[in-house]
Amino acid sequence: MTLSVGDPAPEFTLPDQNGALVSLKDFRGKTVVLYFYPKDSTPGCTTEACGFRDLHEQFTAQNAVILGVSADAAKSHQKFIAKFNLPFLLLADTDYAIATAYDSYGKKKFMGKEYMGIMRHTYVIDPDGKIAKIYRNVKPADHPAQVLADICQT
């Protein structure tokens, strides 16, 4: 089943970069920007993460939290955060369960090869836990500013 705007966001609990468990319900009353990305410290993922970093204060001013999700382990997330001074949580979805629940795990193509992996999708979840906006297969450089602009309009 494909998720749509207005659907309840699938609940989850995942470890963050420090191994602490983080649940979607922890953020009720706030807008959640849940962004899925393929891999820590790769060019596109770094561009996207740094874009969210650079706009972090503006997201916070809109009562929004940013949560990045990839299949990387907590230790990899720690290095990524330290290297690029990322001020938000990165969650370790090592078994792809949450990416699957959010239609963000599937067949990808790179340099002529097909493989399974996390797709670059973002979900904006409203303060009541419903999906407010879905972005699929985003462009890393422009995406964070677009999400912020859309949140500011609501």
Active site residue 50: no
pLDDT digits (tens, 9 = 90+) for 15-49: 999 999 999 999 999 999 999 999 999 988 999 99
Q: How much is the pLDDT for 115?
A: 82
pLDDT tens digit sequence for 48-69 = 999 999 999 999 999 999 999 9
> Residues 7, 59, 147, 22: what is their CA dihedral angle, to the nearest 10 degrees?
-40
The stretch 62-81 carries a mean pLDDT of: 97
**Higher-pLDDT residue of 108, 5:** 5
Core vs surface per residue 64-95: b (16+ CB within 10 A) or e: bbbbbbbbbebebbbebbeeeebebbbbbbee
**pLDDT score recorded for residue 1:** 60
Catalytic position from the list 9, 33, 34, 45: 45
Task: Tell me the average pLDDT of the chain.
Answer: 94
